[in-house]
Structure 1
Amino acid sequence: MMIARRADTRARADFATWKMIAKLNGASELPPQAQEFLASYKTRLDQMSEHDAAEATIGEMYKSYYAEMGGYGAPPEIKSAPSEPVKDNVTTFRRLPPKPKSAPNGQAAARPRLPVALIFAALCVIYIGIRLYWR
């Protein structure tokens, strides 16, 4: 059963990749086996719906991969994923409102600020002090 699951997963992934490469006009770069599967998909597409043609081609690829991976006899039937609509579980980003900072007495805390001129003056004094110290 493990080989069957791997073969089915590989067949589905390869088919999706090859189909996208063919849409981008790169089918001539694919290996011969891939080109054969895409040709059979195109002929089936004329006879049945796109979904049915894809499933039939994937089934053919699955059988080929099952035998290639060492499976014996007829490959077991793999249940495909249910075709239920996918729920969108993504939520939109909302910026939270800013929380006001409150002091213990209930009023907004005012942050003490030093004037820029005072900071500049202190830096000048420190600079002059260092210059005088080194002489």
Structure 2
Amino acid sequence: MLIARRADTRARADFATWKMMAKLNGASALPAEAQQFLASYKAQLEIMPEVEASEATIALMYKAYYTEMGGAGAAPDVKARAPNPVAGNVTAFKRPAAQRPKPAAGPQVKPRLPVALIFACLVVVYVGVRYYLR
């Protein structure tokens, strides 16, 4: 069953890719096998609607891939997974996090040391330790 799922997934992906390349006039760059499947798709498209022609072509590709991947016997039916229902294609707006209130200016506010002063103190300590160890 694992081979069947992989073959079905590969058939669907390849068909979508080949169909898009054909729409972009790049079908001549596809391998011969792909061109044969696209030709059968176009032939079936004249007989039946697009959805049914697509599924019929994918079924042919699936059977070919199943035998190519080493599947024994007839290819089992693989149920297509139903896509998850999309409630909406809009991302919900998230309110940004509240900013921290700025500290009030006054005598209770602790003054912050500037970065340059901290760096100067570290240099003095480093030079002192180096001088002491000599």
- Segments of structure 2 that go 5 or more residues without pairing to the other structure are 115-134
The residue number in structure 1 matching 2:33 is 33
- Segments of structure 1 that go 5 or more residues without pairing to the other structure are 102-107, 113-118, 120-135
The residue number in structure 1 matching 2:78 is 78
The residue number in structure 1 matching 2:42 is 42
Shift of 1:83: 5.8
Deviations 1:9-64 (A, max 9, x none): 00000000001111110000000000000011111111111111100000000000
The residue number in structure 1 matching 2:13 is 13
CA distance in 1, matches of 2:97, 2:72: 64
Matched, 1:87 2:81: no
Given residue 109 of structure 1, which amino acid in structure 2 is its aligned partner? P
Deviations 1:103-129 (A, max 9, x none): xxxxx73247xxxxxx9xxxxxxxxxx
Matched, 1:52 2:46: no
| TM-score normalised according to structure 1 size | 0.69
CA distance in 2, matches of 1:31, 1:97: 54
The residue number in structure 2 matching 1:122 is none
What is the percent sequence identity of the aligned residues? 61
Distance verdict in 2 for CA 1:84–1:49, change over 3 Å: farther
Shift of 1:76: 0.3
